[in-house]
C-alpha cells in the first residue's frame, strides 16, 4: 500500500489549485492508494473548506482539519475533532501565528486529548525572501516546531518537508517519541537513505505536497532510495497507517 500524507485540495491565495477529480486521476495513474487531504490557504473559511472533505465518501481520501489558530476556540476545536477528521494540518507562516505562543497551547491540548496527529508546515525563512515572508517565515522554523514535542508528549507531530533538513530539528525528531518527519520537497534518494540511517525508518512518512510537487516524483524518491524493503514499506504507508489507526 502507498499513502501520500501531504496533499492540498481547492484553490490557494497564491494561485495554486487542485481539484478532487485531478487528484484521484493522478492517484490511480501512480498507484497511490490513499491520500491525506486538506485545504490550501483558502481565501474563505478554512474550517468550512475542511468540512467539505467530510462529504467525500471515497475510501482513498483521508480528511485532515485545517484552521487558523487565531480564530479557533478550544471548545470549538474539541467539537470539530469529534468528527471524522483523521488529524490536523497547521501552517504557521500562511496563518501568521507563532506555534510556541502559549495562547495556542489549549488548542494543542485538545489535539493531544483527541489522539489525532498534527502535520505542521516547516521551513526556515530565507534571507533573500521578501521581508514579509522572512518575518512570517520564522514561525515555520522547524527548530521552533519541534519544541512542542516536550510540552505535549502525547501529541504526535509530523514535521513537513524533511524539517528543512535542519540538523537541530532532525536531532530532536530522533530523540522524541512523538516526532516524525515527512519527505516532500527537500527529499532526494540520498536524503531518504541518510535520514533513514540516522532516525530510523519508523520516523519517516512519505508525502508529496501536491500540487506544489508531483506525487509520482515524490513517491519515486522513496521507491528508488537505497533502503530495505521493510524500511520502504514503513515510509510509504506503515508509519502513517499506525498513526491514523487505519
Q: Are 27 and 3 within 8 A, CB to CB?
A: no
State the Cα–Cα distance between residues 79 and 5, nearest whole angstrom. Answer: 24
What is the DSSP track for 114-141? HT--EEE---PPPTTS-HHHHHHHGGG-
Which domains does the chain show, CATH number per domain? 3-244 (3.20.20.140)
Could you tell me the pTM of the whole model?
0.94
Q: What letter would DSSP give residue 198? A: H
Q: What is the pLDDT of residue 56?
A: 85
Per-residue confidence (pLDDT) for residue 137, from 0 to 100 = 67
Residue 169 φ/ψ, nearest 5 degrees: -65, -45
pLDDT at 125: 67
Question: Can you list the positions of beta strands (E) in the chain?
Answer: 3-11, 17-18, 34-39, 61-66, 87-90, 118-120, 157-159, 179-182, 204-205
Spell out the residues 6+ positions from residue 137 whose beta carbon is closer than 8 angstroms to its own.
Answer: 93, 123, 124, 125, 126, 129
Of 159, 227, 160, 217, give the one whose Cα is nearest residue 190.
227
**43, containing H or E segment:** none
95 within 8 A of 136, measured Cβ to Cβ: no
Q: What is the mean pLDDT of each run of 10 residues along the chain (246 residues)?
A: 97 92 97 98 92 91 97 97 97 94 98 98 70 65 94 97 94 97 94 96 98 97 97 98 96
Bridge partners of 204? 181
Amino acid at each position: 500500500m502507498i499513502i501520500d500524507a501531504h496533499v492540498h485540495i481547492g484553490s490557494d491565495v497564491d494561485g495554486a489549485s487542485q481539484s478532487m477529480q485531478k487528484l484521484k486521476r493522478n492517484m490511480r495513474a501512480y498507484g497511490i492508494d490513499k491520500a491525506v487531504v486538506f485545504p490550501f490557504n483558502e481565501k474563505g473559511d478554512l474550517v468550512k473548506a475542511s468540512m467539505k472533505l467530510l462529504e467525500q465518501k471515497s475510501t482513498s481520501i483521508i480528511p485532515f482539519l485545517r484552521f487558523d489558530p487565531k480564530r479557533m476556540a478550544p471548545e470549538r476545536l474539541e467539537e470539530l475533532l469529534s468528527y471524522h477528521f483523521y488529524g490536523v494540518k497547521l501552517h504557521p507562516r500562511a496563518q501568521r501565528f507563532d506555534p510556541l505562543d502559549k495562547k495556542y497551547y489549549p488548542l494543542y491540548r485538545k489535539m493531544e486529548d483527541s489522539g489525532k496527529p498534527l502535520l505542521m508546515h516547516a521551513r526556515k525563512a530565507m534571507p533573500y525572501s521578501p521581508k514579509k515572508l522572512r518575518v512570517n517565515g520564522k514561525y515555520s522554523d522547524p527548530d521552533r516546531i519541534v519544541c512542542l514535542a516536550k510540552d505535549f508528549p502525547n501529541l504526535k507531530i509530523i514535521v513537513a518537508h524533511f524539517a528543512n533538513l535542519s540538523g537541530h530539528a532532525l536531532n530532536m525528531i530522533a530523540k522524541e517519541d512523538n516526532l516524525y518527519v515527512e519527505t516532500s520537497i527537500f527529499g532526494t534518494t540520498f536524503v531518504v537513505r541518510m535520514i533513514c540511517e540516522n532516525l530510523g525508518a519508523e520516523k519517516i512518512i512519505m508525502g508529496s505536497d501536491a500540487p506544489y510537487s508531483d506525487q509520482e516524483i515524490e513517491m519515486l524518491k522513496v521507491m528508488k532510495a537505497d533502503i530495505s524493503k521493510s524500511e520502504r514499506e514503513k515510509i510509504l504507508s506503515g508509519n502513517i497507517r499506525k498513526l491514523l489507526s487505519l
